[in-house]
Structure 1
């Protein structure tokens, strides 16, 4: 026993021992549910109770890496979602955090719990590790981790059971409910192709650019057919009465275009072989973070992009959308042009690890400096974003742009996950050993109250958010459940939701609600310190 104690007194051995045993505990599954990375936190708390302590610098390093990786992952989708049909899911995610905060205040006051312990219960009930990180920094009290560790298991199980059992209690056919409910999600199948004849006199001799500015349609005109000629649609292409245009877009945009220029051609359109559609995958590091306007694809390569597929969904390409690795572009061009386009977007450099140390370092440095800026809140006092909130905010902003000067923020996703996962387990290991020092005392003092408080903070937002989703936003049950899983930051809940029905709708709702919840739970954790 003395030998083991001596070995664990060495910080490096202690760190990897906690990671090894904690990860093993986190992988143990029961009916598809496991603790995941939180197994490291729980085992760290056990060792912390016996006096073992991981250095604080390791915990802070892990926190910094984890938060930056999360911000870079959320950045590309956060601001775009704010302008899209997914905004309703984001609002629901925000409301879940608001409801959870109000419930947390009531639970803390009713059970007379300390502020750090109460906030820890909330972050555990919402299974939010970024929230835990922000709360630890704001309170500077390791008891936050105790609350998190106690509430977390119920938070995971409750969301999974809610998703699985609630549709059965309501006795509803999820497929029929989805089909009859107006969906805010535009699916891949929504993009259509239409051939339209130019018949209106006011369109005669107008350029495509002039036409687009006249009708404000998002449909993309990929080619123009004039007699036996078939040529690419460019901004300076002049349209003549009698031409036929091939357009790609959502039905409402195509209808607007048809009304403005003429009528749909229902007979088979005779395409010549000089222009064909090709699919090109974005895989070149130099293209990641750039947009169509910057690379001037039409001007330099005589190519029109008609669709952009990302994550299994197709969108009308916008000149401002920045490319992510794995995007699939549908392009129209002549056969001799396609090779140059494929080389432009293809993998010019094969990189096993796509991590830019310079960029990671400067993002962290700027983020930490931003986190130190005092923010004055009326009636509440002064707060700072801290080591958690500052890097998160900066990473989201830089992640949105993809590249700012020499700073690169679009990493190959597996590489970003490596940064995130390593940072997460290092942070949890340090937080666990620190919290373990007061674990037994807190449980002896508060006892069963902590479990009840955590359960209330989990259940109230779940049920209230579902009622809001159905009654206020009129969402389908499957969209409601997906958004709730995102607002509760519950990946296991999403897995259970996906098993209910063969559709990608819950994943879309989850992806829209998750970044909003992620950001606001971090902010809420710090605000509650001032309120409680």
Structure 2
């Protein structure tokens, strides 16, 4: 294999260029780690369009960098999770089910408009809300190879627009509110920070993998599981909250977070770049627009509900919306934009209920479309 087309080289190159270009400011605006995603999208399209090579990135590599990011931000935010759940818990439950319900309602309307694309539109719902568990549920209960192919197509086309919608929203709200967050008088954090130990960090990860592997059978067609992301996040937030020795000094966690984040976004770009860009110039443009619409409407509705009705503070609301849309890239952008891991608290409180909502609504949509 040519070195320049090997997965490792491409990922590291995207991370390097993304980190370099992302830190260049233009009129006080910079893309930050998001640039790794755009570099990956461009390289993926260029390589596939010119038939230079086939990009095959092992899923295990994607999971490793995803775990690194989730565990590091979860541990950094863990000291406040119990307070947030006790004061805002019910609000995040409402927000999660509301966002997924709005997305499902939009999906149902689009199915009525384009009945021949029913399963592809369901896939676009999963992709627009970037929900891998929702996709797995849809594939499991569709009971048709043709339906599976259509669901997978819709998911792959809508996934990148879904990511971009949440990323730009997170960056925009974060930039508008980060200065206000900094200016608030906060009590001095007297928490003792412990030296970083790799075995303790990996203990959190292993515990999260075990939690994420548990499956709860709700019905013959409904199985709930937190998966890798949810399991590691819950493990990091709660173990870090209850065991003070896991509240490490920020330096090591920041390094793990930044490397994992850039790697995660680079892989997403390399995996989905050609499909997403090619869809704009091909027949998939309808599904791309549908996925973009589902993601945008769900996000706007969630913001209105969270900010104006539930009265959730912006830093927690953005995290809650990212969690309600199960969007890890959105969370990544929000953490950077707010310059605070507090965003993760809203994400962690909303994410499990969003998974339940996605599985529930996916089952209903598949049943109505079969």
TM-score (structure 2 length as normaliser) = 0.69
Deviation at 1:18, TM superposition (A): 1.6
Residue of structure 2 equivalent to 1:48: 44
Deviation at 1:388, TM superposition (A): 1.9
Deviation at 1:62, TM superposition (A): 0.7
Change (3 A) 1:363 1:38: same
Residue of structure 2 equivalent to 1:422: 259
Identify unmatched segments of 5+ residues in structure 1.
Answer: 124-131, 166-174, 176-186, 189-311, 316-322, 327-346, 348-353, 470-474, 499-506
More helix by share: 2
Change (3 A) 1:416 1:524: farther
- Aligned partners of 1:92 and 1:484 also within 8 Å: no
- Given the alignment, which residue of 56, 79, 82 partners 2:82? 79
Change (3 A) 1:7 1:441: same
Counterpart mapping for 1:372-451 below 5 A = 372-378=213-219, 381-402=222-243, 408-440=245-277, 442-443=279-280, 444=282, 445=284, 446-451=287-292
Deviation at 1:105, TM superposition (A): 0.7
Change (3 A) 1:37 1:451: same
SS at match of 2:196: coil
Counterpart mapping for 1:360-379 below 5 A = 360-378=201-219
Counterpart mapping for 1:250-261 below 5 A = none
Identify unmatched segments of 5+ residues in structure 2.
Answer: 49-53, 112-119, 140-151, 323-329, 366-370
- Cα separation, 2, equivalents of 1:496 and 1:397: 25
- Aligned partners of 1:145 and 1:435 also within 8 Å: yes
1:14 and 2:15 aligned: no
Residue of structure 2 equivalent to 1:242: none
- Cα separation, 1, equivalents of 2:254 and 2:341: 20
Deviation at 1:356, TM superposition (A): 1.5
Cα deviation 1:395-447 (Å, max 9, x = unaligned): 222111125xxxx5221123222222222222222233222353245443124
Residue of structure 2 equivalent to 1:38: 34
Q: Which has the larger radius of gyration?
A: 1
- Cα separation, 1, equivalents of 2:341 and 2:205: 30
- Cα separation, 1, equivalents of 2:258 and 2:27: 24
Residue of structure 1 equivalent to 2:320: 487
Deviation at 1:375, TM superposition (A): 0.8
Counterpart mapping for 1:73-152 below 5 A = 73-83=76-86, 87-88=87-88, 90-112=89-111, 113-123=120-130, 144=155, 146-152=157-163
SS at match of 2:55: coil
1:459 and 2:333 aligned: no
Cα deviation 1:22-41 (Å, max 9, x = unaligned): 33454455554444333323
More strand by share: 1
